Structure 1
Amino acid sequence: MSATLRKAAMFSPIVRPFALLGCGVALLAALPAMAECAHGKVRVDLPAQRLDERVQALAHATGCFMEVDTALLADKQAKRVRGRMTARNALYLSLRGSGLEAAPYKGHWRIDQRQQQRFARRIATLRATTAEQRERDAISGLRARDVAHTLRHVEKAVPREINEQAHLNVLDRVRYNERLDGVARRIGAPPPPLPLGWVAPVR
């Protein structure tokens, strides 16, 4: 390839999805892919548009790979975003109100509903365990009602905060996990083991 063609390819504005493993998940990135996602602030001026278009535009503007199941973006809109900001803030602003969450993962961004699903599964398990313990008279009706109240609070709070912020920060994850750990202790169910390498945040 000539030097002229190499230079043209380096600054190609094309944004293209890459299918992964034959499923609906795609990696969206500006071509050619940058060595790493931009860490500093970039100029962003994007109109209100479809969310799938926005994710591709952000991949181009920031040089960040974005892993997402494209079905999650269907029929969703992103509001206008304008100014100098980090890739993180541009993505969070773009996803607000969509019910989706973004998190850095192995050098790229992953867009999904992973935290919401994880909390929902744990709440469902604790709710079922509470019902079993109540049926066995292992816990009182008062304790079961108090536990149910806590579970409803976390069940509503997690998706609400993610919808408002497009992520659940570390302190909030710790806080809600601690509340669910407390429920588990009150009904006699051991909390799940912490992920390998997990370190509590400094408060």
Structure 2
Amino acid sequence: MPAVTTDRQALTAEPIEEILSMRWSPRSFDPEAVVTDEQVVSMLEAARWAASASNVQPRRFVVGKRGTDTFARIERHLMGFNRVWAPNASLLVLAIAVTGPEGDEPAGPYRWAEYDAGQSMANLVSQAHALGLHAHPMGGIEVEGLRGEFALPDRFVPVTVTAVGTVASPDLLPERYRERETAERTRLPLDELVLARD
């Protein structure tokens, strides 16, 4: 059986929590692995308790398990190479930013809505890792296609789709993508990211 790479701990410049340094985004998922209902609820509960500006919580989710109609409806709006590997994931989660109010909700527009949705998905991804799963957020999605697919109002903006599942051997990927699956993980150095610090 081909080797499965699960330990790709980041080589950080300073120590950080292990759940953060061990998190990575595989593309090779086990097409037979299943996430339980309990795991799904645990991840969504983590997303629910993410920080939110003024506690407006301008984020919504569409969740589909592999083999369901909802999964297929999300999958058909993935773009490029995402269409090759993501169907093997156990779960697809569409994150939606709510950009303005409805009815008696707090006045909008919610300028921070996409950031708020990102906060919730960061929690979901970390919780997935804590459960022994892996997650891969994708920006390559058809925004208008997903909006139409789920009859979302204009104030609901699809932001990302995140694949969740059990990591598998890179050999499941087309050959030209296998090296990326095991390559050293990198990030820009802090002195390029931090514009000012006193």
Fold shared by both chains (TM-score > 0.5): no
TM-score, normalised with respect to structure 2: 0.24
From the two aligned structures, give the one with the greater strand fraction: 1
The structure, 1 or 2, with the larger RCO (C-alpha pairs under 8 Å, 6+ apart) is 2
TM-score, normalised with respect to structure 1: 0.24
- Choose 1 or 2 for highest CA Rg: 1
From the two aligned structures, give the one with the greater helix fraction: 1
